[in-house]
Amino acid sequence: MVELNSDGEGSARAVLACELRRLREGSGKSLAQLAEETNYDRTYLNRLESGERLSKLPVMVALDEAYGTGGLLVRLWKLARLDSFKDKYRLFMQYEAKATILHSYAIAVPGLLQTEDFARVVLSSTPTPISPDELEEAVVARLGRQELLQRGRPHMRLILDESALRRPAPDPVIWHHQLARIAQAADDPHMTIQVLPLTAGVHGLMGGSLWLLWMADGSAVAYLEGNKSGELLEDAAEIAGYRLFYDRLRDVALSPPDSAAFIRQLMEDSRP
């Protein structure tokens, strides 16, 4: 589970907010004019300038175009997005952004493959109430991670536990679209997905997920993620042990073609 940070002043997010206001005022545009030009609500744009909200990536792309800033706002947004997370997860995301190969075992649909609607369902399913603003902030932060897949790097191999595909969202339409997203990802040349069937039996990672990341220089890190905690491992011996464990799970998982067929069948069966 991803934990959000509550830091404010002095953060990259505060810098981004100040830069958004500076650029608009320097251009002589009012919020109403900017809203008309970008097709985003003026109240929403104002909240971005005050640092109350963190936008989705397409908003920063649109504002970069409006101001002619050559991708500056997107780069600041990437830093501000990291500010949204607690220290250990933030460090993991920094490694993730540099990784050339990523292997993962997941007991739930990973954030990298979640649709916006499904992410909202998952993030709102908490034992403590979450405000609409907090929910939207968490959704934006989660979807922001998917930017790295749009670059075609890293190559990702995902072993997805069958239980993740058997636990639908309450809304059948949302669940159907989520399965379609996973099926689409299985056809991506930069991604390999295998389903670990329930018949594979018990194993040591049933209580959490595992991420193995390799950098261009050959170094690696591992990240163990539970429901409410995460642990980053940088010791080579520990990482080697988890890599061996991962390989054993891969060996008993369905093949990539069989996994893709399995997911597509679930998708067809889930049609509302």
Encoding tokens for residue 232? 């980053």
**Do 98 and 215 share a domain, yes or no?**
yes
Residue 146 — pLDDT band, cuts 50, 70, 90? Answer: confident
Q: How far apart are the first and last CA of the chain?
A: 29
Specify the pLDDT at position 257: 96
Q: Distance between CA 151 and CA 162 in Å, rounded?
A: 28
Residue 84 — pLDDT band, cuts 50, 70, 90? Answer: low
Assigned domain for 148 exists:
yes
pLDDT digits (tens, 9 = 90+) for 205-231: 887 899 999 999 999 999 998 766 678
**Do 116 and 181 share a domain, yes or no?**
yes
Assigned domain for 130 exists:
yes
Here the CATH number for the domain that contains residue 239 is 3.30.870
Q: Name, in order, each residue with C-beta under 8 angstroms of 243's C-beta and a sequence gap of 6 or more.
A: 103, 212, 220, 222
Here the CATH number for the domain that contains residue 68 is 1.10.260.40
pLDDT digits (tens, 9 = 90+) for 60-82: 899 999 999 998 998 888 778 76
Specify the pLDDT at position 157: 95
**Do 107 and 233 share a domain, yes or no?**
yes
**Do 66 and 120 share a domain, yes or no?**
no
**pLDDT of 107 over the 70 cut:** yes
**Do 56 and 161 share a domain, yes or no?**
no
Assigned domain for 3 exists:
no
**Do 36 and 117 share a domain, yes or no?**
no
Query: What average pLDDT does range 40-54 have in this prediction?
Result: 87
Assigned domain for 7 exists:
no
Query: What average pLDDT does range 37-56 have in this prediction?
Result: 87
pLDDT digits (tens, 9 = 90+) for 1-31: 334 344 444 578 888 889 999 999 999 999 9
The single residue listed with the structure tokens 């990672």 is 205
**In whole numbers, what is the pLDDT of the chain averaged over residues?**
87
Per-residue three-class SS string for the chain: CCCECCCCCCCHHHHHHHHHHHHHHHHCCCHHHHHHHHCCCHHHHHHHHCCCCCCCHHHHHHHHHHHCCCCHHHHHHHHHHHCCECHHHHHHHHHHHHCCEEEEEECCCCHHHCCHHHHHHHHHCCCCCCCHHHHHHHHHHHHHCCHHHHCCCCEEEEEEEHHHHCCCCCCHHHHHHHHHHHHHHHCCCCEEEEEECHHHCCCCCCCCEEEEEECCCCCEEEEEECCCCEEEECCHHHHHHHHHHHHHHHHHCCCHHHHHHHHHHHHHHCCC
Assigned domain for 254 exists:
yes
- The domain in which residue 76 lies consists of 12-82
Assigned domain for 189 exists:
yes
Specify the pLDDT at position 215: 92
Q: Per the structure, how many domains does the chain have?
A: 2
**Do 264 and 143 share a domain, yes or no?**
yes
**pLDDT of 150 over the 90 cut:** no
**CB–CB of 191/102 below 8 Å?**
no
**Do 98 and 221 share a domain, yes or no?**
yes
Q: Which residue has the higher pLDDT, 157 or 84?
A: 157
The single residue listed with the structure tokens 């690696």 is 220
Q: Distance between CA 105 and CA 96 in Å, rounded?
A: 15
**Do 211 and 181 share a domain, yes or no?**
yes
Orientation of helix 57-67 relative to helix 31-38, angle to 10°: 110
Encoding tokens for residue 41? 């609500």
Specify the pLDDT at position 83: 67
**Range of 70-74, 126-130, 140-144, 178-182 with top mean pLDDT:** 178-182
